[in-house]
Amino acid sequence: MTPPGHEHWMRRCLQLARNAATTSAPNPLVGTVLVHEGQLLAEGWHKVAGGPHAEVECLRAFGDGGIPADAILYVNLEPCAHHGRTPPCADLLIARGVKHVVVGQRDPFPLVAGKGIARMKDAGTEVVEGVLADECRWVQRRFLTSVERGRPYIILKWARSQDGFLDRHPRAGRGVQRISSPQTDVLVHRWRAEEQAILVGSRTVVNDDPSLTVRHVDGRQPLRVVLDRQGITPAESTLYTDGRPTLLFTGTPRPALDMEQVSLRGNEDPIDMILAQLHARSIRSVLVEGGAELHGHFLRRGLWDEARVITGEAVFGSGTPAPEIGGTPVISVMNSTDHIALYKKDPGCCTWDW
C-alpha cells in the first residue's frame, strides 16, 4: 500500500507540472517537491522547453546546502538519464546526495525508459515507483501519446446550438456565428493555448474566415493547420494574410500564398499525412475545431482521444447538423449559460482543471 503522504506530495507535483501547460511542449509536464519529515523544503517545475528541468528548479530553490539523508524527492515523471538540452537529472540527484526518490511513472521516451531509475538505484538511491500512476498519465497524456503512438494527442472540439446545429442556414456572409457565451469563449482560448496545433477544414475557412488565435488569455499561439484538398479557400482569408504561421495541406498548390504548403497525394487519406507531418515537427497535440466533415472523418475512423462539446442557448432551426459522438461524457458541467461535455475514447482517470 502506498503511504498516504506519498500521494499528497505527488498531487502537489502534478499541480506544479500543470503550471507549464501552455509553455513546456514539446517537453513533458513535470513538477518536483523535496520533503523532509513531512515538511516542504523546496519545489519547482519545468517551465519551458530548453529551460531547467523540474528537478533542477527544485534543488536550486533549496540552495547549495546539504540535503538531509532522509529527505524525499517527489517527481511525477522519471528523471532523465541522457544529455539533451540539459544534463541528466538522475546524475544531479545522485551528486546532490538525494537518497530517497518517489516517481509517479516511468518515462517511455527511448533515451530514458527506466535508465534514470536504474542509474539512481545503482548509486544506492531508494526509488519508489507508480504513485498516482493513472493521474500522472492523464496529466502527461499529450507527451505519452506522441511517444507511445507516434502521433499527436487529438482533441475534437465543437459548439452546437440547443437544437443540434453547428451554424444557421441560410448564411448572410462569411463570419463566425456565435453559439457559446463570452465566458466560454475565454475558456476555449485557454484550450487553444494548451495545444501546439489547431486544425480546420476548408469549409470552416470559407464560411467563418476564422483567425484561430489565442486572444482572450495569455499563452502560446498554436500552429494553424488547414486541410483544403480542392484549393477552395479564398486567398484573402485571415489565416493567410495576418502574418502568423499557417500550414496548408492541399491537393491543389497555391503559389500565390506565401506560406508552407504540403501537397496531398492522390486518394491517400489526408488525416494520416497531417498527423505524420505534425509528429515529425514534434507537435504533441492538435485541437480539431471544424467543421462537420472533418470531425466526422476523425470520429468514423475512431481516431481521437478526447472530445469537448459545447451546447449553447441559441436555437438555429436549420443548418449544418452537429456531429454525434455517442456514449456518456466523463465530465458534464455548466459554464455560464453553456453546457460542456468532455468525452474520452480510452478509459482511465480524468480530472479537468478550470
Q: What is the DSSP string of 301-338?
A: HT--SEEEEEE-S---SSSSBPP---S--SEEEEETTE
246 in Cβ contact with 216 (< 8 Å): no
Q: Are strands 100-105 and 72-77 parallel, antiparallel or unpaired?
A: parallel
The CA distance from 234 to 232, in Å, is 6
Cα distances from 342 to residues 164, 201, 290, in angstroms, run 17, 22, 17
Q: Is 308 helix (H, G, I), strand (E, B) or coil?
A: strand
Kindly state the cell numbers that stand for 326. Answer: 455517442
Residue 209 falls in which region: left (phi positive, over 0), alpha (psi -120 to 50) or beta: left
The CA distance from 218 to 234, in Å, is 29
Helices 292-301 and 270-280 meet at what angle, rounded to 10? 90
161 in Cβ contact with 40 (< 8 Å): no
Name the DSSP class of 169.
S
The CA distance from 240 to 263, in Å, is 17
Q: What share of the chain is helix, strand, coil (3-state, %, to 5)?
A: 30, 25, 50
Q: Would the CA dihedral through 205, 208, 211, 212 be positive or negative?
A: negative
Name the DSSP class of 67.
P
- Active-site annotation holder among 55, 78, 135, 194: 55
The CA distance from 297 to 302, in Å, is 9
Nearest CA-CA partner of 231 in 256, 211, 210: 256
Q: Is 55 a catalytic residue?
A: yes
Q: Which residues carry out catalysis?
A: 55
